[in-house]
Amino acid sequence: LEAGGQYYIGARAGVALTPGIAAYGKVGYTALDTRAFTESGSLGELEENADGLRFGGGLQIQLPGPLEARVEYRRSNYNDLADAGQGDAKTDQVVAGIGLRF
């Protein structure tokens, strides 16, 4: 099974832990483009789109000026691949980044 693009739309809510640090949770709908193929590659390929639920949480830290840093955990559960005989798929991601507030 090969994964392509991953799409997400959802909501995020948080609470301030200190004046410069906030914790948040997120939940929403996610979709994943996939492609299943045989080991020999001689049979036709099966292209599927799977969708499901994404949830997670993280920390947002205010840096000097308009900068902020984030560390986030994301878990996505895709259920539609079972209909194609591929079983359920799950992804776990840890993302770190720096953002510019404007």
**Predicted pLDDT at 77:** 87
Residue ranges of E strands in 1-102: 2-18, 21-36, 46-62, 67-78, 89-100
pLDDT tens across 23-56, in order?
999 999 998 776 665 555 544 555 567 788 999 9
pLDDT tens across 67-92, in order?
999 999 999 988 755 555 556 678 89
Compute the half-sphere exposure of residue 77: CA atoms within 13 Å on the CB side of its CA.
6
